[in-house]
Structure 1
Amino acid sequence: MIQERLKGTGVALVTPFTKDLAVDYSGLTKLLDFVLDGGVDYIVINGTTAESVTTTAEEKKQILQTIKQHVNGRVPLVYGLGGNNTQQLVDSFATTDLNGIDAILSVSPYYNKPSQQGIYQHYVAVAEASPVPIILYNVPGRTGSNITADTTLKLAAHPNIIGIKEASGNVEQCISIAKHKPADFMLISGDDMLTVPLISFGGVGVISVLANAFPEKFSNMTRNALNGDYKKAGELLYDFIDINPLMYEEGNPVGVKVLLERFGVCEVAVRLPLVEASAGLKDRLFKLL
Structure 2
Amino acid sequence: MTNGTHGGIQIRGSIPAIVTPMHEDGSLDLPAFRKLIDWHVAEGSNGLVVVGTSGESATLSVEEHILMVQTAVEHTAGRFPIIAGAGGNSTAEAIELSKAAKKVGADATLQVVPYYNKPTQEGMYRHFVKIAESVDLPVLLYNVPGRTVADMSNETILRLANVPGIIGVKEATGNIDRAAHLIKYAPAGFSIFSGDDPTAIALMLLGGHGNISVTANVAPKAMSELCRAALEGDAITARRIHLNLLSLHKQLFCESNPIPAKWALEAMGRMQGGIRLPLTPLDARYHDIVRDALRETGLLA
Return the TM-score normalized by structure 1: 0.96
Correspondence for 1:179 among 162, 176, 184: 184
- Write out per-residue CA displacement over residues 67-91 of structure 1, whole angstroms, 9 at most, x where no aligned residue: 1221111101100111111133234
Name the amino acid aligned to 2:34: T
> What residue number does 2:27 align with?
22
**Cα contact 2:69–2:104 (8 A) shared by 1:** no
Correspondence for 2:41 among 36, 47, 58: 36
Correspondence for 1:2 among 3, 6, 30: 6
- Write out per-residue CA displacement over residues 190-243 of structure 1, whole angstroms, 9 at most, x where no aligned residue: 001111100121200010111111110110011001111111101100112112
> What residue number does 1:51 align with?
56
> What residue number does 1:216 align with?
221
Matches within 5 A, 1:1-289: 1-2=5-6, 5-288=10-293, 289=295
Helix, strand or coil at the partner of 2:203: helix
Aligned partners of 1:60, 1:113: CA distance in 2, in Å? 24
Structure 1 residue 183, shift from structure 2 partner: 2.0
Aligned partners of 2:101, 2:192: CA distance in 1, in Å? 26
Structure 1 residue 62, shift from structure 2 partner: 2.1
**Cα contact 1:148–1:173 (8 A) shared by 2:** no
Aligned partners of 1:63, 1:221: CA distance in 2, in Å? 28
The more displaced of 134-143 and 261-270 is 261-270
Alpha-carbon spacing, 1:98–1:188, altered in 2? closer, same or farther (3 Å): farther
Structure 1 residue 61, shift from structure 2 partner: 2.5
* Structure 2 unaligned residues grouped into runs of 5+: 296-301
Aligned partners of 1:32, 1:91: CA distance in 2, in Å? 26
Structure 1 residue 189, shift from structure 2 partner: 0.2
Identical counterparts, % of pairs: 37
**Cα contact 2:86–2:110 (8 A) shared by 1:** yes
Name the amino acid aligned to 1:155: L
The more displaced of 273-282 and 83-92 is 83-92
Aligned partners of 1:98, 1:226: CA distance in 2, in Å? 32
Over aligned residues, Cα RMSD in angstroms?
1.4
Name the amino acid aligned to 2:269: G
Aligned partners of 2:151, 2:268: CA distance in 1, in Å? 36
* Structure 1 unaligned residues grouped into runs of 5+: none
Helix, strand or coil at the partner of 1:285: helix
Aligned partners of 1:149, 1:94: CA distance in 2, in Å? 27
Aligned partners of 2:54, 2:41: CA distance in 1, in Å? 18
Structure 1 residue 57, shift from structure 2 partner: 1.7
Return the TM-score normalized by structure 2: 0.92
Pairs aligned (count): 289
